[in-house]
Amino acid sequence: MTDKNVERRREADKRLFASMTADDERVSLRMAEIRGMNCTTPRDDQLRAHIKAMKRSLRTGDKQHKILFVTGESNAGKSRLVQNALAADPAFAVYEDDEGKGRPLLFDDAASPCTQRNFAIRFLRKLGFPVRSNIQKTVAWPEMVNQLCAHRVRFLVIDEAQRTMKINDDQELQEFSDNLITLVDSKDWPIRLILIGVEPLDMLRKRDTQMLNRSKRIKLLPIPAQKSARVVLWLKEVIVDHAGLYSVDLDFEDLAQRLIHACHGNAGSIIELIRGAVEVALWDDRSGVRCEDFAQAYVDRTSCLPHDNIFEMKKWDNIPGGAAKLHDTGAERGNVEGDIATIKPLKKGERPR
C-alpha cells in the first residue's frame, strides 16, 4: 500500500469510527491489543532452530536448509508462527547503510492467479519498484532478482504459497520451481525461502528432487485431546496475561477438552474462541471470565441451539464437534494490491507470455 493510500485509509477509518459508542471504542481497542499478542506453541523453538540453520547455510552452503515449507490446515497458526519468530529476530530489522535502506526480510502473499510473471510483479511492487502493466515475465523475473539484491533481501517469505500449485501447465510449474531453486543457489546473491500454505503446497516440494533435497518442512497438525495441556496454557495466557482478567471458578482441563472438540483441534480457532469469551466479559465490563462466557462465545460463532452448546451440556462429547472451527475464506481470494488486475488464470495447456 502506498503512503498516499495509507493516509486515505487513516482518514476514512477516522470518519467511520467517529460513530462508535464509548463501549464500542473500549472493547474494540482492547481486543485489538489482545489479538496482537502471541500465544506460546511447541513449534516456536523448532522454527527458530530452522531459521538459525538457514542463516548458517548462507555461509556453509548446507543444501538441506535453503528452503523451509510450513504447512497445515487453514487457521493452524502457520503465518503467525513465522511472523512472530522473524519479528523477534534482530537479524531481520530494516537498516540504513551507504546505499540507503536495507531489507533483510521480504514477506508477502503469493500472487493470485500465480504465474511467474504475477509472482515477480507482486514482489517488485512490494519493494516499491514501478512496474509497467504490459511487462513480460522474461523481464519481470530478472528485474525482481535485481531488486532483491538492490534492497539486500536475504530471506523471502511467501504466504498462501499453495497458489503456486494452481499453475496448470507442467512446463511452467517446473520452470517456476527451477527459478526458486536458482534464487537459493545463486553464487552472487543467494537468498533463503520460507513457503507457507495449506496441504497442496507439499506437492511442490515432493514433485521435484532438487526442491526436496534443498528443503525441510514443519507441518502443523490439529491438537489431539491428549495434548490438552497446550490449550490450558493458552487459556491462562489469553485470560490472565493478555487480557489482565481472572478466571471465575474455571475448570481449565474441562474447558480445554471442550475447546478441542468444538474446533476439531484447530489451533487458530481455539485461540479465537478463548478470545471470544474474553470479549464477552469485556462487553459486560467485568474483570473475570466465567464458563458462561465460553457458552456465549460459542453461540456467537455457531448460532447453535442450547442443547447443541458444547459449553453448556454435561454430555458435550455426544455433540458433533468442529462447529467452531474457522474456515479461511480469504485463502484463495482474487487479485489484491500488487497483482495485475487484467491477468486471467492460465488455462490447461496455455503458455504464459
| pLDDT tens-digit series, residues 142-177 | 999 999 999 999 999 999 999 998 888 888 899 999
292 and 213 housed in the same domain: no
DSSP state of 22: H
284 and 176 housed in the same domain: no
59 and 207 housed in the same domain: yes
What is the grid cell recorded at 235?
487459556
Q: Does residue 331 have a pLDDT over 60?
A: no
Residue 99 domain boundaries:
43-220
CATH number for 99? 3.40.50.300
Task: Report yes or no on 195 lying in a domain.
Answer: yes
DSSP state of 192: E
* Predicted pLDDT at 29: 93
Task: Report yes or no on 312 lying in a domain.
Answer: yes
215 and 226 housed in the same domain: no
Cβ count near 195 (within 10 Å)? 27
142 and 278 housed in the same domain: no
What is the grid cell recorded at 304?
447453535
Q: What are phi and psi of 178, to 5 degrees?
A: -60, -40
Q: Does residue 348 have a pLDDT over 60?
A: no
Burial of 327 per CB tally in 10 Å (0-12, 13-18, 19+): exposed
Of the pLDDT bands very low, low, confident and very high (cuts 50, 70, 90), residue 68 is: very high
Q: What are phi and psi of 157, to 5 degrees?
A: -110, 125
What does 64-119 look like in DSSP terms, one character per residue?
GGSEEEEEESTTSSHHHHHHHHHHT-GGGS-EEETTEEE-SEEEEEPPSS--HHHH
Instruction: List the Cα angle 146/150/155 in 5-degree steps.
Output: 85
* Predicted pLDDT at 14: 85
Task: Report yes or no on 337 lying in a domain.
Answer: no
Check if the beta carbon of residue 50 is closer than 8 Å to that of residue 68: yes
Cβ count near 55 (within 10 Å)? 16
Return the H-helix or E-strand segment holding 285. Answer: none
* Predicted pLDDT at 1: 61
- Mean pLDDT, residues 104-118 taken together: 93
Query: From CA 24, how far away is CA 4, in angstroms rounded?
Result: 28
201 and 249 housed in the same domain: no
Q: Which of 201, 220, 239 is the last residue of a domain?
A: 220
Task: Please say whether the dihedral angle defined by the alpha carbons of residues 48, 51, 55 and 56, taken in this order, is positive or negative.
Answer: positive
Q: Does residue 10 have a pLDDT over 80?
A: yes
Task: Report yes or no on 280 lying in a domain.
Answer: yes
Look over the chain and give the mean of its residue pLDDT values, rounded to a whole number: 90
163 and 215 housed in the same domain: yes
Of the pLDDT bands very low, low, confident and very high (cuts 50, 70, 90), residue 330 is: very low
What is the grid cell recorded at 35?
489479538
Q: Does residue 92 have a pLDDT over 50?
A: yes
Q: Which of 156, 188, 220 is the last residue of a domain?
A: 220
228 and 305 housed in the same domain: yes
Task: Report yes or no on 254 lying in a domain.
Answer: yes
Of the pLDDT bands very low, low, confident and very high (cuts 50, 70, 90), residue 45 is: very high
* Predicted pLDDT at 6: 82
* Predicted pLDDT at 184: 97
Q: Which of 220, 242, 257 is the last residue of a domain?
A: 220
Pick the more confident residue, 349 or 37: 37
Query: From CA 328, how far away is CA 333, in angstroms rounded?
Result: 10
CATH number for 242? 1.10.8.60
* Predicted pLDDT at 97: 86
Query: From CA 201, how far away is CA 280, in angstroms rounded?
Result: 37
231 and 209 housed in the same domain: no
| pLDDT tens-digit series, residues 251-273 | 999 999 999 999 999 999 999 99
| pLDDT tens-digit series, residues 212-229 | 999 999 999 999 999 999
* Predicted pLDDT at 102: 93
Q: Which of 147-156, 198-207, 266-275, 288-297 has the lowest mean pLDDT?
A: 198-207
The number of distinct structural domains making up the chain is 2
Query: From CA 76, how far away is CA 331, in angstroms rounded?
Result: 13
82 and 210 housed in the same domain: yes
| pLDDT tens-digit series, residues 232-257 | 999 999 999 999 999 999 999 999 99
Task: Report yes or no on 232 lying in a domain.
Answer: yes
Task: Report yes or no on 86 lying in a domain.
Answer: yes
Task: Report yes or no on 292 lying in a domain.
Answer: yes
Of the pLDDT bands very low, low, confident and very high (cuts 50, 70, 90), residue 327 is: confident
180 and 316 housed in the same domain: no
Task: Please say whether the dihedral angle defined by the alpha carbons of residues 241, 244, 250 and 256, taken in this order, is positive or negative.
Answer: negative
The owner of cell 474483570 is 287
Q: Are strands 95-97 and 100-102 parallel, antiparallel or unpaired?
A: antiparallel
* Predicted pLDDT at 328: 65
| pLDDT tens-digit series, residues 122-140 | 999 999 999 998 899 899 9
Q: Does residue 345 have a pLDDT over 80?
A: no
71 and 200 housed in the same domain: yes
Query: From CA 280, how far away is CA 295, in angstroms rounded?
Result: 10
- Mean pLDDT, residues 322-342 taken together: 55
Q: Does residue 336 have a pLDDT over 70?
A: no
What is the grid cell recorded at 272?
479465537
> Per residue in 135-157, is it b (16+ CB within 10 Å) or e — as a string?
bebeebbebbbebbebbbbbbbb
Query: From CA 321, how far away is CA 335, in angstroms rounded?
Result: 34
